[in-house]
Structure 1
Amino acid sequence: MLTVASTASLRVYVSEWENGRRPISARYAKILRGLLGITNDELTGKPETLPAPATADGYDELMDRIDAARSVSLTMVKTFMDQTELLRTMDRQMGAVSLVDQMTAHLATLEDALTFAVLPETRRPVARALAGAATLAAWQALDVGAVERAWRNYELGKRAAQEADAPMYLAHATAEQAYVLCDAGRAPMAVQLIREAQRLGGKAMSPRLAAWLYAAEAEICARAGMPDDCRRALESAVRCLPPGADARDPDMLSIFLNEGHLTRWRGSTLALLGDDEAVANLYVALDTSDPTFVRASAGLRCDLAQAHLARGEYDKAHEHLCQARLIASRTGSVRHRRRVEQLTQQL
């Protein structure tokens, strides 16, 4: 059991922390990082100090690290990717706010491995693993409201994808980065960026990733007030999506998209347009949704609320917003809580 100060003392501590009169101890820093979903640097406002080199000139330590990086084999890269997959699963079910420390440490390990890897045959697999991890970390940061960290992690993911010569990873990171612009109220610029993502992926993209990109383009076009472009993109997503129930893209593990997911995405996008067809699509998605996608269910409830609001069905909208608020609070999703509040103002 973790012991903390009394409520009265904590009020004093918070005031002193905010005014810089008291340093945040390691114990309280750990608690606050988990509650707020921020990194240690964001909490303290300054980077952690690096240890001094073991030798005066630093060559011995540098060579030790380069030699250690040479031992990064395909097996070790698989371990990195397995760790990313575990963090992705935990994020999907629990939310990102409790994973900040683990994600930060994972990225640091991958960046370190890439920094000291010398030859291309070692660097490329590590860079690919870093591209996937950085893109996941960016989406998690966006979810907890750390938008600058999200942007920087997307840039890291894009650089890593370029070094890995992995156009699918580059396209995916670029497309997700468009959501940062969209959430910031720059939807027209976001449309341009997601179309650039499609160009970057080119012919190297899998059909499932191509469908995902078109669906994302449709959503962002809807938010940009471009209904005709939105509908064309939705039609392209349907054409590209491979048949069958499988949702996972074996060439791009961060992509989950099958007919059921696309039905939900279509309903969400049509709800943004105020299209009456959205409600039917969204209830189909609600009935068939994967229960392990806990955080995503908050978004689905928000979509249903938006669709009902467009039809003037305020009681049903309120019901779904209450559910969305509970899920967003449980997963710590600042992004979903913000949307809940925006929709609540329309009731």
Structure 2
Amino acid sequence: MTNGLRTARQTREWSQERLVREIERHARQHMLSVASTASLHVYVSEWENGRRTISERYARILRALLGVTDHELFGRAAPSEAPAEADGYGELVNRIDAARSVSLTMVETFMDQTELLRTVDRQMGASSLVDQMTGHLTTLEDALTFAVLPETRRPVARALAGAATLAAWQALDVGAVERAWRHYELGKHAAQEADEPMYLAHATAEQAYVLCDAGRPAIAVELVRNAQRVGGHRLSPRLRAWLYAAEAEIAAKAGLAEDCRRALERAVSCLPEGEEARDPDMLSIFLNHGHLARWRGNALALLGDDEAVSDLYTALDAVDPTFIRATAGLRCDLAQAHLARGEFDQAQDHLRQARLLANRTGSVRHRRRIEQITQEL
């Protein structure tokens, strides 16, 4: 209990005073009753030092503010709701019987729930979705664990693969890197069971970003290339283009300029024409030529190439206004590109706007990048 809250707070670079203010702000927005400011200062100190137990009422607020799970907050899993029967067989049979009743309609409901969580995440950020996503994954994992026959397991595994990959990206966004890694592993295993190479390739490629953020871009390049291989001929053209674009970005971070440019060329050659962005075979993939212009600009900015600015402004004009987190990233890219050209005023302006958007979504990942670019100014 002692270090979980402190670690989550420090990950966001919040002081204890800032955490108190955020608790009060959250309480006002949601019409919740909390202790006085002076008492909250005492509570936070005692929570972090293990002298006071965090009640469920405050745990719910802290999970939403910090984007953490019970395990990360308390150093333990949430308590189980009810003890198992003495011999265990009765409960096991009940769960197996319940899993047998999972129909395609229910699987579609699972997918719809993932889609709803993806939409909210895109517009509001990941930190407020921890409880919902944790419950969603638990439901899917239980359905898969107790499903017996392949015809029932495969569609559930497919739904779990998509949900786990989304949960992993959300965890990475709020700075919970170990949780992100474990969710990606869950998504990969589920995709393998479902015999869905597109889902496996997507989860593997996104997992490469964890390595990249951890300072291992060279290994990340190899992992994203492995994702392309595991997908093989069963990848859709849009997903294949997405994988090449991801390779280009990570290669740029690894300082592999030629590899980056070659991957960008392959992404352009694979991407279908037209304004349509969403892949009907892989609903988590949004990519058209406008999005690819942003990716190209980002990669070129990382290489210090002057061409980056025009590509990024093209992408900024085309970006969907509901993609709040993506817009924050785009502003970071523009700041990086202007910085490479020595245009410090423009870089600072884009950083200011990126910071506002990152604060709106609670993105720890973007805040870290903003601070890194700020230090270069």
Q: Classify the TM-score, shorter chain.
A: over 0.9
- What is the aligned partner in structure 2 of residue 89 from structure 1? 119
Unaligned runs of 5+ in 2: 1-30
User: For residues 83 and 44 of structure 2, what CA distance do their matches in structure 1 show?
Assistant: 35
The within-5 A match list for 1:5-154 is 5-154=35-184
Which among 205, 224, 236 is matched to residue 254 of structure 2?
224
Report the Cα offset of residue 56 of structure 1.
1.3
Is the deviation greater in 264-273 or in 46-55? Answer: 46-55
SS state of the match for residue 254, structure 1?
strand
User: For residues 51 and 293 of structure 1, what CA distance do their matches in structure 2 show?
Assistant: 37
User: For residues 288 and 64 of structure 1, what CA distance do their matches in structure 2 show?
Assistant: 52
Tell me the amino acid that sits aligned with residue 70 of structure 1. Answer: R
Report the Cα offset of residue 233 of structure 1.
0.2
TM-score with structure 1 setting the length: 0.99
Q: Does 2:329 align with 1:299?
A: yes
The within-5 A match list for 1:307-326 is 307-326=337-356
- What is the aligned partner in structure 1 of residue 196 from structure 2? 166
User: For residues 326 and 198 of structure 1, what CA distance do their matches in structure 2 show?
Assistant: 35
Give deviations 1:221-276, integer Å, cap 9, x for gaps. Answer: 00000000000000000000011111110110100001111011111111001100
SS state of the match for residue 47, structure 1?
coil
Tell me the amino acid that sits aligned with residue 35 of structure 2. Answer: A
Q: Do 1:53 and 1:61's aligned partners in 2 also have CA atoms closer than 8 Å?
A: no
Which among 227, 230, 237 is matched to residue 207 of structure 1?
237
Give deviations 1:143-201, integer Å, cap 9, x for gaps. Answer: 00000000000000000000001000000000000000000100001001001101110
SS state of the match for residue 3, structure 1?
coil
SS state of the match for residue 298, structure 1?
helix
- What is the aligned partner in structure 2 of residue 198 from structure 1? 228
User: For residues 353 and 81 of structure 2, what CA distance do their matches in structure 1 show?
Assistant: 47
- What is the aligned partner in structure 1 of residue 313 from structure 2? 283
User: For residues 293 and 76 of structure 2, what CA distance do their matches in structure 1 show?
Assistant: 45
- What is the aligned partner in structure 2 of residue 185 from structure 1? 215
- What is the aligned partner in structure 1 of residue 11 from structure 2? none
Q: Do 1:96 and 1:331's aligned partners in 2 also have CA atoms closer than 8 Å?
A: yes
User: For residues 325 and 260 of structure 2, what CA distance do their matches in structure 1 show?
Assistant: 25
Q: Does 2:285 align with 1:255?
A: yes
- What is the aligned partner in structure 2 of residue 337 from structure 1? 367
Report the Cα offset of residue 9 of structure 1.
1.0
TM-score with structure 2 setting the length: 0.91
User: For residues 220 and 318 of structure 2, what CA distance do their matches in structure 1 show?
Assistant: 30
User: For residues 240 and 133 of structure 1, what CA distance do their matches in structure 2 show?
Assistant: 26
User: For residues 36 and 52 of structure 1, what CA distance do their matches in structure 2 show?
Assistant: 28
Give deviations 1:30-60, integer Å, cap 9, x for gaps. Answer: 0100110101111111112324545311111
User: For residues 164 and 23 of structure 1, what CA distance do their matches in structure 2 show?
Assistant: 42
Unaligned runs of 5+ in 1: none
User: For residues 92 and 46 of structure 1, what CA distance do their matches in structure 2 show?
Assistant: 29
- What is the aligned partner in structure 1 of residue 26 from structure 2? none
Q: Using the aligned pairs only, state the percent identity.
A: 80
Report the Cα offset of residue 287 of structure 1.
1.0
User: For residues 296 and 231 of structure 2, what CA distance do their matches in structure 1 show?
Assistant: 22
Report the Cα offset of residue 346 of structure 1.
1.1
Q: Do 1:218 and 1:269's aligned partners in 2 also have CA atoms closer than 8 Å?
A: yes
Give deviations 1:59-90, integer Å, cap 9, x for gaps. Answer: 11111110010110100000000000000000
- What is the aligned partner in structure 2 of residue 246 from structure 1? 276
SS state of the match for residue 255, structure 1?
strand
